[in-house]
A and B are shown apart, each in its own frame.
Chain A
Amino acid sequence: MPRTLFEKVWDAHAVGTLANGQTQLLVGTHLIHEVTSPQAFGMMRDLGLRVAMPHRTFATVDHIVPTDQVSEPYADPMADAMIKELRKSCREAGITFFDRATGKQGIVHIVGPEQGITQPGTTIACGDSHTSTHGAFGAIAFGIGTTQIRDVLATQTMALGRLKVRRIEVNGRLRPGVYAKDVILHIICTLGVNGGTGYAYEYAGDLFDRFSMEERMTVCNMSIEGGARAGYVNPDETTFAYLKGRPYSPKGDEWDAAVARWRAVASDPGCAYDDTVAIDAADIAPTVTWGINPGQGIPITGSVPDPAQAGSTDERASIEEALAYMKLKPGAPIKGTPIDVAFLGSCTNGRLSDFQEVARFLKGRRVAPGVKAIAVPGSQGVGVLCAELGIDKIFRDAGFEWRNAGCSMCLAMNPDKLVGDQMCASSSNRNFKGRQGSPTGRTILMSPIMVAAAAVTGSVADAREVFGVGPN
């Protein structure tokens, strides 16, 4: 019987059925970072438990590392303590730690793929909801809480109910100036922020067939913003080419055997899905958010919704709440909204191709007066590649601050924060109230190129006009 990739991977990792009906699922790869794991190690100590498979756990620091300070101790004593705690726990347990000194540190969802740890047909868990990123490789990858981190550390397994699978098929060509980020924002706006509850999303169609691994990662990354705990793309030649030669990728004969296994794990033709959705790539516009969740988005040519025209009292209330917070006027064009900060980075859009694409257009341009623009490579590896290609210089010359790797202003647990009600054009994944570090700070989500357009004009802008990319 034909099966989906999800079913194949799930079945291959199912250890047994627990008394409550959930599956005891083997977690092939466990990724940990400094914010959600120290408490789990504490729970382990309290229960007298040891790490079951240290060779299948990989650690790095990303959430709270300062991006403008490299030497320890860090200015924030709590951040310093958390990092030291993780370092100590990893040393004691024999867990590989991609610390800053290794040159391999970065956002956990960028490091895993970069090192070749993220592989097709595997299960991956991490105490971070954007773990769905790794699904780009045909892995079943999902975020977990700290108690579950304890479970995985102690047993390499966790309790989980099986997800349903929704195939989201996007066919056709994207119009010029439209990127992977716009695709996922469009999907979330179409299906809703909780439309994916209970589902894993299988992204498919000829658009995804043509997408690079980095583009696939951008889409899978934000699955959780649509409520889907996991999202994946079936592995193909693009996947294998990306993985070939990476530090943790199989070598020699092992490589050929692995590719054969990976090929076989893809969803079978004719397999059944719990739901399917079709989207025409040509319908997708450069998309920006106007509200306080990632589903509140519109094309850059659109206007902020008017609560008076809402279809329901619920919708009216949510628009009113969002507009009051965002200080935007009903019916006003989103284009032209002044910004104070431009942030380019995060596990959504902090990879080489993001900076490379922006650099093409940023060369010779200047960040508008009064705008604070920061570019934060997602990993030390991305930073090195950008330096080799002279990309960091293009950003610096344009007036961007070029920082060291980390999550930075996506969640602002480090010193990179909005101040007061600053408006930020951001390539990150969440525009929740207070997300970027100030309780009144405002976030507009968009693609990297749109962040650059906002940075150079000082307001939300249509990158196609600013950089002369013809809309059709």
Chain B
Amino acid sequence: MALEKITRVAGRAVSVPGNDIDTDRIIPARYLKCVTFDGLGEFLFYDVRKNADGSDKPHPLNEARHKGATILLSGANFGCGSSREHAPQALQKYGMRGVVAEGFAEIFHGNSTALGMPCVTASREDIARIAAAVEADPDTEVAIDLVSMTISFGGQSVAATLRESARDALVHGRWDPIGELIEGAARAAKVAGGLRYMSA
């Protein structure tokens, strides 16, 4: 299974500031009722983006100038809470290609990486600089480069960090591990055979 080598994602960005943005906020539980992930993009950040009658609330994603943004900027501990993959799926289906935040919750980070959506960490000051550039000109291109581990925007460049296992998986096109896991099936069966509780 040939996967895309993800070395760089770039596009317009939108800032959704705040710390501890949980996956219930990214996609409320009532939208998890589905047997496929198709169409989840519509419900991204639903309760903070929409009123009960479906009209828009003030939210960065609702602003015309940020339409078409593909890079999300946020704060610390992004994606905490529920393990629902619906959260990164909703981001991706909405059109996001990468996330820059001060930090990520672990399950969310793993889920995003397995979907080929890089989630990189940058310092608060640097994220504020990127957000300021985007605020001044929403058409600013923000590029996450996974080779140089930098985020460039409007002629500036700041450092990004990403766990090496995730970076490696993305840039070498092995972010979906299923192929490698299947290759290890015989070894897995052997390890299982040595564990009494796993015998049939």
Residues of A within 8 A of B (CB): 12-16, 18-22, 24, 26, 28, 35-36, 38-39, 42, 47, 49, 52-53, 55-56, 63-64, 76, 78-79, 81-82, 85, 119, 121-122, 127-129, 131, 142-148, 150-151, 154-161, 193-194, 197-198, 224-225, 227, 229, 250, 254, 257-258, 261, 293, 314, 317-318, 321, 411-413, 430, 432-435, 437, 439
> Which one of A19, A28, A85, A229 contacts B174 once the chains associate, using CB atoms below 8 Å?
A19
| Min C-beta distance of A457 to chain B, whole Å | 29
> Which one of A122, A150, A321 contacts B197 once the chains associate, using CB atoms below 8 Å?
A122
B25 touches A433 (CB 8 A): yes
Beyond A20-B165, A157-B184, A314-B19, whether A150 also contacts B83 by CB under 8 A is no
1/0 per residue, CB under 8 A from A, across B158-186: the answer is 00000111101100101011101110110
A197 touches B115 (CB 8 A): no
* Complex-state Cα separation, A110 to B122, whole angstroms: 39
* Complex-state Cα separation, A20 to B168, whole angstroms: 5
* Complex-state Cα separation, A143 to B81, whole angstroms: 10
Beyond A12-B195, A38-B35, A143-B83, whether A20 also contacts B107 by CB under 8 A is no
> Which one of A151, A155, A227, A437 contacts B80 once the chains associate, using CB atoms below 8 Å?
A227
B47 at the interface (CB under 8 A from A): yes
**CB neighbors of A among B5-27 (8 A):** 18-20, 22, 24-25
1/0 per residue, CB under 8 A from A, across B78-117: the answer is 0011111110110000000000000101110011001100
> Which one of B37, B82, B172, B197 contacts A28 once the chains associate, using CB atoms below 8 Å?
B197
Which bucket holds chain B's interface residue count? 35 or more
* Complex-state Cα separation, A198 to B110, whole angstroms: 12
A435 touches B24 (CB 8 A): yes
B152 at the interface (CB under 8 A from A): no
> Which one of B25, B32, B169 contacts A413 once the chains associate, using CB atoms below 8 Å?
B32
Complex interface: chain A residues within 8 A of B195 (CB): 12-13, 26, 28
**CB neighbors of A among B58-95 (8 A):** 76-77, 80-86, 88-89
Beyond A12-B195, A78-B33, whether A148 also contacts B111 by CB under 8 A is yes
Beyond A13-B191, A36-B84, A146-B85, whether A18 also contacts B107 by CB under 8 A is no
16 contacts between A and B (CB under 8 A): A20-B172, A28-B197, A39-B85, A49-B182, A52-B188, A56-B192, A147-B115, A151-B177, A155-B182, A156-B188, A161-B163, A193-B20, A318-B19, A321-B18, A411-B82, A413-B33
B2 at the interface (CB under 8 A from A): no
B148 at the interface (CB under 8 A from A): no
* Complex-state Cα separation, A255 to B34, whole angstroms: 42
| Min C-beta distance of B191 to chain A, whole Å | 5
* Complex-state Cα separation, A197 to B82, whole angstroms: 14
> Which one of A78, A151, A254, A434 contacts B181 once the chains associate, using CB atoms below 8 Å?
A151
> Which one of B25, B103, B176 contacts A194 once the chains associate, using CB atoms below 8 Å?
B103
Complex interface: chain A residues within 8 A of B29 (CB): 411-413, 435, 437
| Min C-beta distance of A130 to chain B, whole Å | 9
A159 touches B177 (CB 8 A): yes
A82 touches B165 (CB 8 A): no
B105 touches A197 (CB 8 A): yes
* Complex-state Cα separation, A149 to B76, whole angstroms: 27
Beyond A148-B111, A155-B181, whether A128 also contacts B163 by CB under 8 A is no
B187 at the interface (CB under 8 A from A): yes
B187 touches A15 (CB 8 A): yes
Complex interface: chain B residues within 8 A of A16 (CB): 184, 187
Given contacts A52-B188, A128-B82, A439-B47, 5 further A-B contacts (CB under 8 A): A53-B198, A129-B82, A145-B107, A147-B85, A227-B106
> Which one of A229, A258, A261, A435 contacts B106 once the chains associate, using CB atoms below 8 Å?
A229
B28 touches A434 (CB 8 A): yes
Complex interface: chain A residues within 8 A of B188 (CB): 15, 24, 26, 52, 155-157
Complex interface: chain B residues within 8 A of A143 (CB): 83, 107
B33 touches A128 (CB 8 A): no
* Complex-state Cα separation, A127 to B111, whole angstroms: 11
B107 touches A144 (CB 8 A): yes
Beyond A56-B198, A129-B83, A434-B28, whether A293 also contacts B22 by CB under 8 A is yes
Beyond A19-B172, A21-B165, whether A261 also contacts B196 by CB under 8 A is yes
Complex interface: chain A residues within 8 A of B81 (CB): 129, 224-225, 430, 432
* Complex-state Cα separation, A110 to B33, whole angstroms: 22
Complex interface: chain A residues within 8 A of B163 (CB): 161
B200 at the interface (CB under 8 A from A): yes
A154 touches B35 (CB 8 A): no
> Which one of A18, A26, A127 contacts B83 once the chains associate, using CB atoms below 8 Å?
A127
* Complex-state Cα separation, A38 to B34, whole angstroms: 8
